[in-house]
Amino acid sequence: MISEQDVIKQVPKKLFIDGQWTTSTSNTTFEVQDPATGKSLCEVADGNDQDALLALDACERAQKSWSKYPPRQRGEILRHGYEQIIERSDYLATLMTLEMGKPFQESKAEIVYAAEFFRWFSEEAVRIDGRFAVAPNGNGRLLTMRQPVGPSLLITPWNFPLAMATRKMGPAIAAGCTMVVKPASLTPLCTLAVTQILQEVGLPEGVLNVITTSSSSKTTKVLFDDPRLRKMSFTGSTEVGRTLMSAASKNVLKISMELGGNAPFLVFEDADLDAAVEGAVIAKMRNIGQACTAANRFHVASSIAKEFSEKLAQRLETMKVGGGLEDGVEVGPLINQDAIDKTKSLVEDAIGKGGQVLTGAKQLDRGGYFYQPTVISNVARDAKVLQEEIFAPVAPIVSFDSEQQAIEMANDTPFGLVAYVFTKDLERSFRVAEELQVGMLGLNQGMVSNPAAPFGGVKLSGIGREGGYEGIDEYLETKYIAMKI
């Protein structure tokens, strides 16, 4: 396996503008830390508004020829990108674990997931089609075509450092859009690494530009103010998403918003209990609980709530917590001290309101930001842990007495990203699926993410879909031609 030092040495640490790696115009840098130790990994270029405008200039220059590039060739670039990501998965996974903290095996899984977006959209690039119809009155023909929306700003979060980037870059490239990518300041390295791969497999200059920055608001404002920008795709918190929607309104950008969640995990009395516990482990513990799709609250039928809670607690107790590159570790660190402070405060609030701790509820006594996997049962309906996105390995459990009550509790949130339902009753599956106010549902399984499926939410969880057939639509405009025949 490639050493940590070599991994950090290998990754580019500059801005990528118009096909060139460059320092920022202010020649400054900012630090990237390892959350397992709290220590510095390296410095990367600290881009600013001037750099962002240079990136948009590059997009504008490249947009016309890129939109005319043969779709098959755009697809081939993505296909080669996919192959190279897989080929370099040990390097990329080590880099991901170093900057974000997740256990190495989970990083490997994210590398494959991330690469699959390139493979999926390499196949979609050649399927951008239009429509032809006879006008209803018979006089004339209606022709529609779909064209790239144009220069796009792609803003990604820290929790899936590679997949959130490829989920946007893939369809943008397939559709023929140029782009400025702004990765999270906590985890910019995977985006820089995949940019190098795309450069090597022949992505033309100016199509992809990457601005790492410690001043995201000021750096992106100039782009929102510039009418050449036509699209913004954002993944991150609902709070920041709202601000950016408002910024995007200035030039009426086409927007895609993948925002926060508060996923309910429903276990009915007829569920296979062991399968539900295993599903709960995946839905809760993937990414150390730091996923928008993480099960945020467990609603369990009262007849089985005690057994489910005890089994889940036993299972989480056995999970090894530690640095993501250590052998056998299943639970890595949280991203930073703020995450630890927030987790402590949510757990204290739940305990203060009568919740019973079955396991965990402590920060680990070592460097970095480690929190024990935690199960709290009998959580009060007004506990904050049920209302806010936890983003930590904490499982609060509440019981319900009827299907209707379970649905009401599940929908009692302004968010609507995903829900998980465990039941063996087919009719109930459909009834509940139709009633839940979410964009995605995991039926008897604890994970929904799949590049071939439309990912996204309703209510405060967002607008638009990424992946699936729908994903490329976010980067295309429809043009209609009225033909007199």
Question: Which active-site residues does the annotation give?
Answer: 258, 292
Q: Which of 180, 167, 178, 170 is nearest to 211 (CA)?
A: 180
Residue 114 interacting with ligand NAP (CB under 6 A): no
Least Å from the CB of residue 180 to ligand NAP: 12
Interface with ligand NAP includes 191 (CB under 6 A)? no
Q: Using CB under 6 A, which of the segments 130-138, 252-260, 296-304, 367-375 binds ligand NAP? A: 252-260
By beta-carbon proximity to ligand NAP, the closer residue of 41 and 406 is 41
Name the minimum Å distance from CB 167 to ligand NAP.
8
Q: Which two tokens stand for residue 325?
A: 């590159």
* Nearer CB in complex with ligand NAP: 187/372: 187
Does residue 260 touch ligand NAP according to CB under 6 A? yes
What is the three-class DSSP state of 440?
strand
Provide the residue count of the chain. 485
- In 243-319, at which residue ranges do the beta strands (DSSP E only) sit? 254-258, 263-267, 295-301
Nearer to ligand NAP among residue 24 and residue 377 (C-beta): 24
Q: Is 240 in the site for ligand NAP (CB under 6 A)?
A: yes
Beta strands of 323-393 (E only): which ranges? 356-359, 374-377
Q: Which residues contact 412 (CB under 8 A, 6 or more apart)?
A: none
Tell which residue, 101, 104, 93, has the closest CA to residue 34: 101
CA dist 224 → 175, 255, 256, 380 (Å)? 21, 12, 14, 43
Neighbours of 428 (CB within 10 A): 14
In contact, 174 and 74? CB cutoff 8 Å: yes
Backbone angles phi, psi at 276, to 5 degrees: -65, -40
222 contacts ligand NAP (rule: CB under 6 A): no
User: Residue 428 contacts by C-beta under 8 Å, 6 or more apart in sequence?
Assistant: 268, 270, 403
- If binding is defined by CB under 6 A, does position 389 make contact with ligand NAP? yes
> How far is Cα 300 from Cα 309, in angstroms, rounded to an integer?
9
Torsion from C-alpha of 105, 107, 108, 110, nearest 10 degrees: 130
Select from 100-108, 157-165, 194-202, 316-324 the region that touches ligand NAP (CB under 6 A).
Answer: 157-165
Stretch that binds ligand NAP, among 47-55, 71-79, 199-207, 239-247 (CB under 6 A): 239-247
In the window 277-316, what residues touch ligand NAP (CB under 6 A)? 292
The helix (run of H) or strand (run of E) holding residue 350 is helix 337-352
Does position 235 bind ligand NAP by CB under 6 A?
yes
Of positions 237, 336, 378, 450, contacts ligand NAP by CB under 6 A: 237
**Interaction of residue 253 with ligand NAP, rule CB under 6 A:** no
Q: Which residue is nearest to ligand NAP (CB)?
A: 236
Tokens, residue 210: 């990457």
Binding window for ligand NAP (CB under 6 A); candidates: 215-223, 310-318, 347-355, 425-433: 215-223
User: Which residue, 62, 26, 68, is CA-closest to 228?
Assistant: 62
399 touches ligand NAP by CB under 6 A: no
Q: Give, as ranges, the residues between 422 and 481 that touch ligand NAP (CB under 6 A).
A: 457, 462
417 is a site residue for ligand NAP (CB under 6 A): yes
State the nearest-atom distance from the C-beta of 114 to ligand NAP, in Å. Answer: 13
Site string for ligand NAP, 160-189 (x = CB under 6 A): x---x-----------------x-xxx---
Task: Check binding of 152 to ligand NAP (CB under 6 A).
Answer: no
Residue 94 or 293: the one with the smaller Cβ distance to ligand NAP is 293
Q: φ and ψ at 466, to 5 degrees?
A: -120, 140
**Is residue 216 at the binding interface for ligand NAP, with CB under 6 A as the rule?**
yes
CB of 157 to ligand NAP, least distance (A): 3
Q: Which residue of 158, 298, 369, 420 would you call a contact of ligand NAP, by CB under 6 A?
A: 158
Cα distance between residue 145 and residue 147, in whole Å: 7
DSSP letter at 331 equals B
Residue 259 interacts with ligand NAP (CB under 6 A): yes or no: yes
All residues at 6 or more sequence positions from 5 whose CB lies less than 8 Å from its CB, including other chains: none
Q: Which residues bind ligand NAP (CB under 6 A)?
A: 155-160, 164, 182, 184-186, 216-217, 220, 235-237, 240, 243-244, 258-261, 292, 389, 417, 457, 462
